[in-house]
């Protein structure tokens, strides 16, 4: 059998090809879905409010390997056993943090020379860049170059009979009585 694709995935910095696993088509990592609180008002439509928390990403990889007569997949299972990071050959600049390997389902193919494995992963809801440049803080203002909205960090302190201090992202404003 001739390998038609050179696609593979990387777990903890080790290529799946090193244990003889190849990927039919690497999945495109989906966007994590945002959790939403819903209130049933009973009038017209329910009210929804985003919680600014995201659900884990579930991925399934359809891989295959050529096997010896012994049907021994112990090297594949050892490769997947302690998965912490997951990358794909088609997306080499991003990785996912693995929460757990959900399942590994091997099935022998009709040609008797391959086993297909359906490998399920649960990953943290974000994709991480492999080599982001470090952000140097040169001013009192920090601008997040990310693509996601983030809320400011508020802190309010008050001394009895004294001033009230409002701090937003480290910038303080004192309110005198």
Quick check: is 70 in a domain?
yes
Q: Are residues 64 and 105 in the same domain?
A: yes
Question: What integer pLDDT is reported at residue 1 of this predicted model?
Answer: 45
Residue 53, φ and ψ in degrees, nearest 5: -130, 145
Question: What integer pLDDT is reported at residue 174 of this predicted model?
Answer: 82
Q: Are residues 42 and 109 in the same domain?
A: yes
Quick check: is 50 in a domain?
yes
Average pLDDT over every residue of 99-125:
86
Q: Are residues 98 and 169 in the same domain?
A: no
Instruction: Name the average pLDDT for the chain.
Output: 80
Q: Are residues 15 and 35 in the same domain?
A: yes
Tens of pLDDT, residues 37-86: 887 877 777 777 888 788 899 999 998 887 666 667 888 889 999 999 99
Quick check: is 89 in a domain?
yes
Contact residues for 53 (Cβ-Cβ < 8 A; gap 6+): 34, 35
98-129 burial by CB neighbour count: b if 16+ within 10 A, else e? bbebeebebeeeeeeebbebebebebebebee
Q: Is the dihedral of CA 41, 46, 50, 56 positive or negative?
A: positive
What are the respective helix, strand and coil percentages of the chain, to the nearest 5? 5, 50, 45
- Say if residues 96 and 57 touch (Cβ distance below 8 Å): yes
Tens of pLDDT, residues 141-163: 656 566 655 566 677 787 777 78
Q: Strands, DSSP E only, in the chain?
A: 9-11, 14-15, 21-23, 34-39, 47-54, 57-66, 85-88, 91-108, 114-129, 154-158, 164-168, 171-175
Residue 159 lies in domain? 141-177
Q: Are residues 172 and 85 in the same domain?
A: no
Q: How confident is the model at residue 165 (pLDDT cuts 50, 70, 90)?
A: confident
Give the number of domains in the chain: 2
Quick check: is 59 in a domain?
yes
Q: Are residues 99 and 120 in the same domain?
A: yes
Q: Are residues 88 and 124 in the same domain?
A: yes
Instruction: Quote the percentage of the chain above a pLDDT of 90.
Output: 20
Quick check: is 64 in a domain?
yes
Q: Are residues 72 and 103 in the same domain?
A: yes
State yes or no: pLDDT of 12 exceeds 60.
yes
Tens of pLDDT, residues 167-177: 877 778 887 76
Q: Are residues 147 and 82 in the same domain?
A: no
């Amino acid at each position: 059998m001739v390998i038609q694709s050179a696609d593979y995935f990387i777990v903890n910095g080790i290529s799946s090809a090193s244990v003889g696993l190849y990927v039919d088509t690497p999945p495109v990592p989906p966007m994590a879905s945002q959790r939403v609180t819903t209130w049933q008002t009973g009038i017209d439509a329910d009210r929804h409010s985003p919680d600014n928390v995201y659900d884990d990403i579930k991925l399934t990889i359809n891989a295959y390997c050529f096997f010896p007569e012994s049907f021994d997949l112990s090297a594949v299972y050892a490769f997947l056993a302690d998965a912490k990071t997951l990358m794909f050959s088609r997306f080499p600049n991003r990785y996912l943090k693995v929460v757990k390997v959900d399942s590994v389902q091997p099935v022998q193919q009709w040609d008797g020379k391959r086993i297909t494995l359906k490998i399920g992963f649960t990953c943290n809801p974000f994709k991480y860049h492999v080599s982001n440049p470090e952000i140097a803080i040169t001013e009192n203002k920090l601008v997040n170059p990310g693509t996601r909205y983030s809320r400011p960090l508020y802190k309010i302190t008050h001394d009895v009979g004294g001033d009230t201090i409002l701090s937003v992202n480290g910038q303080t404003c004192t309110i005198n009585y």
